[in-house]
Amino acid sequence: MSDECRVCLLGLIFLSSLLTGISGVNETHVFISSGENVRLPCNNALHDCNSTTWNYNRFRESAAVELIRLGIKKKDTERHESMSMGSDCSLNIRNISTEDYGYYTCRQYVNHTQVNDTHVYLHVLHVSSSQTEISAGLSVTLFCQLYSYPRVSCDDLIRSERIQLFWVNQAGVKLTRSDSRYQISSSSDRCIITLNTTLLNEDDNREWRCEVTQRDQVKTSVTYTVKSSARRETPVIAVISVSVAVLAVLLAAVLWLIWRKRADNKRGTDGEAVSSVKDENDDKRTYETINMDTPAAARDHEQTDDVTYTEVSSSSKKPVKSLKDHNDTVTYATIR
């Protein structure tokens, strides 16, 4: 770019700065609810963003924090990961929190010379509850607060910008102090409005909404939905009941199997034969002793000193049946 063009550009920027300063166009108010994404406009952006710098102040007494310098995002700032710059040099912030409210400045530089500023006031609306356990019969207080950069005071800001906070029901009807069920009150600086009521059974899943308006135009709102704690605990109780029932069935089944096993063992003991019966795969051996004595009648006809009495022992891995089960005839032999 030639020097003549640069001089012309600087002249136009200064003229624009004077005009916007007179008309107030260089000052913007942005309202957003906590948890949402926001875009802060840079109304004085040049043909590219390499000359754009974004600064941030939360309090009047605090020093400015540089978020973006000449189109490059600073990585040593808090929550830098949630911030980015758009193609139109706007500042984009994801998942807004109450820590992000404040005073933002979009500043332009030409040849390292500051030429113009755009001021953006970011207001964050947030709703909180006094109760963690919600159920019918309990009194609950809802707090709706507008977090704003205090130029002088929140009250002055509300008066100068004609900002209002109020509660509406789910039908969109504004709640007033004349309604006997609701107690509506505001803080001294009018940046906090509270709603107090005693919950009824039919209030489960009911919605109350806090809205903020600027010059009678709704800018943003936050909805609070009543969720009864008793309703949330019901599925847990059901799961516990089912688990206890399942455990009871399993315990009964185990006890029945133990009883059945003992009964089978008792019947096996009562019908057991004289000889011990072991499994074929059992390593222990079963021994059966058979005494074969010569009958008395045979011994009368034979010489006593020529008779030999023999004891026969047999062993087997297979179960041995009782002698009562055998139909074989035993033959006695006399050895002389």
For residue 85, the domain's CATH number is 2.60.40.10
- Does any domain span residue 89? yes
236 shares a domain with 203: no
Q: Please check whether residue 6 lies inside any domain of the structure.
A: no
- Amino acid 14: pLDDT: 41
Is residue 165 within 8 Å of 212, Cβ to Cβ? Answer: yes
Of 91, 124, 157, the last residue of a domain is 124
pTM for the predicted model, two decimal places: 0.61
Same domain, yes or no, for 167 and 221? Answer: yes
How confident is the model at residue 105, as a pLDDT? 94
Q: What is the mean pLDDT of the chain?
A: 75
Domain stops at, among 96, 124, 152:
124
Assess whether 32 and 111 both reside in one domain.
Answer: yes
- Let me know whether 29 and 119 are in one domain: yes
**Taking the chain (336 residues) in consecutive chunks of 10 residues, what is each chunk's mean pLDDT?**
44 41 65 96 85 89 87 86 92 95 91 85 94 82 91 78 92 88 88 92 90 94 84 46 69 81 70 44 45 50 48 47 48 46
Quick check: is 9 in a domain? no
Same domain, 212 and 252: no
Residues 106 and 153 in one domain: no
> Does residue 11 sit within a domain?
no
Is 141 inside any structural domain? Answer: yes
In a domain, 269, yes or no: no
Of 124, 148, 183, which one is at a domain's C-terminal end? 124
Q: Is residue 13 part of a domain?
A: no
What's residue 296's pLDDT?
A: 52
Shared-domain flag, residues 108 and 29: yes
Instruction: Look up the domain containing 183 and give its range.
Output: 130-227
For residue 70, tell me if it sits in a domain: yes
Give me the pLDDT at residue 35, please. Answer: 94
Q: Residue 270 has what pLDDT?
A: 57
pLDDT, tens digit (0-9, with 9 covering 90-100), for 251-294: 888 887 887 888 777 766 555 443 444 444 444 444 444 444 54
How many structural domains are present in the chain? 4
Q: What is the pLDDT of residue 240?
A: 55
